Structure 1
Amino acid sequence: MTRIKVNGIVLGIESFGAADAPLVLLVGGTTMLSWPDALCERLAAGGRRVVRYDLRDSGESTTADPQAPAYTLRDLAADAAALADALGGGPAHLAGIGVGGMVAQVAVLDHPAAFSALTLVGTRAVAPGPPDDDLPDHDEAAMGRLFASPMPDWTDREAVADFAAGGAEILGDDPAAARATAVRIWDRTPGTAPPVQMANQLGMVFSALDCTPRWRERLPEIKVPALVIHGRRDPFFPVGNGEAIAREIPGARLLVLEDAATAIPDTAFGKVAEAMLALG
């Protein structure tokens, strides 16, 4: 794990695989730990140099004020392109999960020369907030339960882990895996200030981020091979969001994980890695 400076800020990165292998760049959603270690290792074993990284205001990357970010979604997209260039080796296969998938879509649209392929996992083609009329919104029952849960004491490591496990159970993800990831995120968050801890755990910075202009209408401009992966049981971004993206990117392949919700379950690592490796 190391840090690299691009666009006047520092991004925390972690690399797997040979340095001279084709690059797969994984956009965190919002921290790099959204991409499981075992999946990164499988991609590296398939002959790729895998680099996962933290978005701004998370993990090892530059942290300023996650409650009032002085950057936009397009700045985060520019970070991805600049990081791909700094890592060298030619255009990268870019992959984004959750809100990282929004970053990845805009990055490929705004900086097409930087990328050779695109993978989008559990995301949608519109900014946070109400979706377009033809896209399914968050599942009301799940969101009602999720938002009824009181926020933890963000300075308390175990309370944060309990909160993450409870949220995972509501969303249909593995509570034990969520707990373990939350502890790792807490341990690598710079300080215990509640807004910073909350930004690392929940990605709440996106609720304050300028995500204009719209990009959904530009999806047909994407010319690189694309893979869209979505959990059938995802209550946060229901599968219709992934289906819409796959329809609107020319030639995109849709891979629906029948037993998955918002996270990539360990039982799907092999299938996901195989599909990503086949893309390029």
Structure 2
Amino acid sequence: MAERVVEVEGIELCTESFGEPSDPPVLLIMGTGASMLWWEEGFCRMLAEGGRFVIRYDHRDTGRSVTYEPGRPGYTGADLVGDAARVLDAYGIPAAHVVGVSAGGALAQLLALDHADRVLSLVLISTSSAVPGGRALPPPTEEFTRFVSAAQVDWSDADSVIGYQVAYARVLAGGRRPFDEAAARGLVRRDVERAHDFAAARNHDSLAEGELPPAPLSSIAVPTLVIHGAADPLFPLQYGEALAEQIPEGRLLVLEDAGHGVERVDWATVVPAILGHTGADRAD
């Protein structure tokens, strides 16, 4: 296991792999604005110990991947989708099982629509449909909305950024479980210190505006597992339910009391679910 900066089509992306390259490949796509560190090492190792070759990577403008001037990204959301295929190219992998969380789940859907031959199966965690339309869904919780509207952060000051990110992680956790502030602060601090320019992650905020998906979600023809927390404050559970309904081979796993993201307390449930879903003996 070691970080590896790959260059494909002139784009430098920082990656890290776990496990044996001969095992079934699993590509992890984190949400926009977040580096690969949010796929925690222990989680990746559990998947690798289950017989998977696991790859995580930093999006552009996060971690140690190519970084642009804040406010001037020079790329689109479609480029972030393409980066997932670029990572597979760099590892010589024709197709992989793809796991995405939050906006990374939307990128995974678009990858399955635009590069269908690269995706063996999908796992979509704490995410929403990448395709507009469908049934009406509830807004984020009042607590989440209040936090977003009131939060203030100085992106040039590391302590201010860390404080904001930890507070944001607390809100995303959903409030039904004790929040491990020490663990969250340690992860955020590593993320901030590791980045070329942490403020550049804000370039992701408006990338999806004006972009249309290539086809409806009903076009996704691979087995899809939707994992969603019952206490998700950003995308309430109805988002996961709707997503599983829209994809022909979709099924839903609900995590009781879980918020938004992949929490350590849920690894014992999520990892076996992913291994079962991506295994050759998967039951349809």
Please confirm whether the aligned pair reaches a TM-score higher than 0.5, indicating the same fold. yes
Q: Is the 8 A contact 2:113 2:215 kept in 1?
A: no
Q: Is the 8 A contact 1:71 1:210 kept in 2?
A: no
What is the 5 A alignment of 1:47-86? 47-86=51-90
**SS of the residue 1:52 aligns to:** strand
Q: Does 1:180 align with 2:186?
A: yes
Deviation string 1:237-267 (CA, Å, 9 cap, x unpaired) is 2221111111101121211111211122211
Give the direction of change, closer, same or farther, for the CA distance of 1:258–1:66 in structure 2 (3 Å limit).
farther
2-structure distance, mates of 1:184, 1:147: 26
Q: Is the 8 A contact 1:74 1:107 kept in 2?
A: no
Alignment coverage as a number of residue pairs: 269
What is the 5 A alignment of 1:145-156? 145-151=147-153, 153-156=154-157
What is the 5 A alignment of 1:124-273? 124-126=128-130, 134-151=136-153, 153-172=154-173, 174=179, 175-191=181-197, 197-200=198-201, 204-215=202-213, 218-273=216-271
**SS of the residue 1:13 aligns to:** strand
Give the direction of change, closer, same or farther, for the CA distance of 1:269–1:137 in structure 2 (3 Å limit).
same
CA drift at 1:216: 9.2
Amino acid at match of 1:150: Q
2-structure distance, mates of 1:172, 1:46: 27
- Listed as ranges, the gaps of 5+ residues in structure 1 are 192-196
Give the direction of change, closer, same or farther, for the CA distance of 1:238–1:206 in structure 2 (3 Å limit).
farther
**SS of the residue 1:120 aligns to:** strand
Deviation string 1:131-172 (CA, Å, 9 cap, x unpaired) is 876122222332113331221x33443333222222222333
Percent of residue pairs bearing the same amino acid type: 39
What TM-score, normalized to structure 1? 0.88
Deviation string 1:157-195 (CA, Å, 9 cap, x unpaired) is 33332222222223336333321221011111114xxxx
CA drift at 1:199: 4.2
Give the direction of change, closer, same or farther, for the CA distance of 1:116–1:198 in structure 2 (3 Å limit).
same
Give the direction of change, closer, same or farther, for the CA distance of 1:22–1:177 in structure 2 (3 Å limit).
same
Specify which of 23, 26, 32 is matched with residue 24 of structure 1.
26
**SS of the residue 2:152 aligns to:** coil
Provide the residue aligned with 2:17 in structure 1: 15
What TM-score, normalized to structure 2? 0.87
Q: RMSD of the TM alignment (CA)?
A: 2.2
- Listed as ranges, the gaps of 5+ residues in structure 2 are 279-284
Amino acid at match of 2:228: H
1-structure distance, mates of 2:164, 2:123: 29
Q: Is the 8 A contact 1:3 1:61 kept in 2?
A: yes
1-structure distance, mates of 2:195, 2:40: 18
